[in-house]
């Protein structure tokens, strides 16, 4: 499936945020950490997400989605 540039960028930010939250925890993680990991500016981050809680919620949704796919692929 071809994703638009915006969809790819959004996915990249979610993936980078997952890594940052995993390494630092929610409270220690900063938007700057996520942006720096992707070599993007803060403005680019805020084009896709409102704030740290917003990106965190998207990360959680992504992790749950991946886990659900994994579990449903297991043969009973």
Say what the pLDDT of residue 73 is.
74
Domain that holds residue 14: 5-72
- pTM for this predicted structure: 0.87
Could you report the per-residue pLDDT of 20-74, keeping only the tens digit for each? 999 999 999 999 999 999 999 999 999 999 999 999 999 999 999 988 888 787 7
Residue 64's domain is classified under what CATH number?
Answer: 1.10.10.60
CA distance 59 to 55: 6
Say what the pLDDT of residue 74 is.
76
Rg for the chain (alpha carbons), in Å?
14
Comparing C-alpha atoms, which of 12, 18, 1 is closest to residue 48?
12
CA distance 38 to 13: 7
Number of folded domains that form the chain: 1
For the chain, the first-to-last Cα distance in angstroms comes to 28
**18 pLDDT above the threshold of 90:** yes
Say what the pLDDT of residue 1 is.
53
């Amino acid at each position: 499936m071809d994703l638009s540039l915006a969809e790819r960028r959004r996915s990249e930010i979610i993936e980078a945020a997952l890594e940052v939250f995993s390494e630092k925890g929610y409270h220690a993680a900063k938007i700057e950490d996520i942006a720096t990991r992707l070599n993007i500016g803060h403005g680019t981050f805020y084009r896709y997400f409102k704030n740290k809680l917003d990106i965190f919620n998207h990360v959680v949704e992504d992790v749950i989605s991946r886990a659900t796919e994994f579990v449903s692929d297991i043969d009973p």
